[in-house]
Structure 1
Amino acid sequence: MSNGERRLAGLPLRSVPANAITAAALCFGLTGVRFAIAGNWPMAMACIIGAGVLDGLDGRVARMLKGESRFGAELDSLSDAISFGVSPALIVYLWALKDVPRIGWFFALGYAVCCALRLARFNAQIDIKDQPHKSAGFLTGVPAPAGAGLMFVPLYIWDVTGEPLARAPWIVAPWTLLVALLMISNFATFSWSSLRLRRDLRLPAILLVGIACAMLISEPWATLLAISALYLLMIPFSMSSYAKIKRRRAMTGNATELPGDE
């Protein structure tokens, strides 16, 4: 192989920062399992949330540096499958579902598999131009990072209230199944590009985000519980919003694409 061919086959320097962030997210996800084994549930959850933050940054850094690559896309999917599929499943299993090991393991396994199926569906459709949800700025189903956050809702409740029922396998197992099904569903869910704010609401929105960040620092689990509840309440509205766009397109025959991002 010539020097020129070797340079072409290598990873461009501008793509290294984004891929390093993705690798860091993977490390965060796996470290969450380590804390779960030690019984440190707040740190286990914090690692998964940290992985979610990093996952939101890597793609933006790649676009900013023009360092998108097929290698980065594959690494991102593998990182997501582990950080938001395998790790949350193991954490919740060790926290509550191990009390019914035979049945509990199947629920945890089902969640991890559904997360992998969701990511595989996204990868399989990444080059398909005709994607109605994406062209309208919506996502298909609950994204993997949000699914991991929703998976921990019983843990949030238990940490905030100390209620032992929140840890009961007969409550945690059905909840795990529900989140798994939401991830592989065909529901249209809001993405950043589908959210539109009127001009008079933009300053209050900035204030609200600032307050939410302060609350995340002072009362992280109560705040994440509130955010999870708000996200679930938004799903019917996102479906209704997409249905309106779909009807408008059917009437006008307008297939103008809007920027969408999975």
Structure 2
Amino acid sequence: MFVKTIPNILTIGNLFVGIIAMIFAMQGNERFITYAAIMIIIGMLLDGLDGRVARLLKAQSDFGKELDSLSDIVTFGVAPALIMYNVFLEDAGWIGIFITALFPICGALRLARFNTQTKKSCGYFIGLPITAAGGILATLALYNDTFPHLTLALGMVGLSLLMISNVKYPNFKRVTFPRSVIIPGLMMVVVAVF
């Protein structure tokens, strides 16, 4: 029975790092912003694993699906928006607040649309997945000194709109890797992050 809970444990890990990312983002200094962005990247790894592990263990459930969506809105919607708010949007007044709120709102709309689609497409997603959008924002936060603030703000609005768009994006969920690559690959990612 415990084996069937492993995917949900991974999903809760995703939620946990999302909450930690928000706490780090609220510290407001560059070092903690970096830590917050790294937490989101770790969340991406956990989010990529939970569904694969659920399919592998035949442990898919409606509960797991809902938990995954709730975790995703925190880790890839709210947390990256808070990071960007603390990086540069705080100085933009009400416009900054609007852009900060827009991102997780569009992410929630994207997830709601995905979860209620009756006809699932195996080969693509409609609208930019929130995981990708949040990962892009986390990466931009790491390199925020490279871009003008206006570019970052427009990019954030663009990502928000892409999440609720009808643009088709490839679905890589069914891509498999040889077992001999998975453990060394994960170890390389962990070493690279830290």
TM-score (norm 1): 0.63
State the Cα RMSD in Å.
Answer: 2.7
Deviation at 1:187, TM superposition (A): 1.0
1:18–1:216 Cα change, 3 Å: closer
d(CA) in 1 for partners of 2:74, 2:173: 26
- The corresponding residue for 1:24 is 13
**Contact 1:48 / 1:83 at 8 angstroms: preserved in 2?**
yes
2:68 is the counterpart of 1:79: no
Q: Deviations over 1:118-148 (max 9, x none)?
A: 00001111xx23x4xx14x111121111111
Q: How many residues align?
A: 186
d(CA) in 1 for partners of 2:168, 2:174: 10
d(CA) in 2 for partners of 1:101, 1:52: 30
Deviation at 1:62, TM superposition (A): 1.2
Deviation at 1:72, TM superposition (A): 0.8
Deviation at 1:194, TM superposition (A): 8.2
**Contact 2:14 / 2:71 at 8 angstroms: preserved in 1?**
yes
2:168 is the counterpart of 1:182: no
Q: Deviations over 1:54-84 (max 9, x none)?
A: 0011111111221111111111110011111
d(CA) in 2 for partners of 1:50, 1:156: 14
Amino acid at match of 1:179: L
Q: Deviations over 1:88-144 (max 9, x none)?
A: 11111111100113110100100110000000001111xx23x4xx14x11112111
- The corresponding residue for 1:122 is 114
**Contact 1:104 / 1:169 at 8 angstroms: preserved in 2?**
no
Q: Which moved more, 1:77-86 or 1:148-157?
A: 148-157
d(CA) in 2 for partners of 1:193, 1:90: 28
Runs of 4+ in 1 over 6 A off after TM superposition: none
d(CA) in 2 for partners of 1:13, 1:107: 42
Amino acid at match of 2:39: C
Q: Which runs of 5+ in 2 are unaligned?
A: none
Alignment match of 1:37 (pick from 26, 29, 46): 26
d(CA) in 2 for partners of 1:50, 1:154: 16
**Contact 1:29 / 1:83 at 8 angstroms: preserved in 2?**
yes
TM-score (norm 2): 0.84
Between structure 1 and structure 2, the one with the greater Rg is: 1
SS of the aligned residue for 1:192 comes to coil
Deviation at 1:154, TM superposition (A): 3.3
SS of the aligned residue for 1:142 comes to coil
SS of the aligned residue for 1:74 comes to helix
Looking at both structures, which has the greater relative contact order when contacts are Cα pairs under 8 Å and sequence separation is at least 6?
2
SS of the aligned residue for 2:58 comes to coil
d(CA) in 2 for partners of 1:216, 1:181: 32
Deviation at 1:153, TM superposition (A): 4.5
d(CA) in 2 for partners of 1:103, 1:124: 31
- The corresponding residue for 2:61 is 69
Deviation at 1:217, TM superposition (A): 4.7
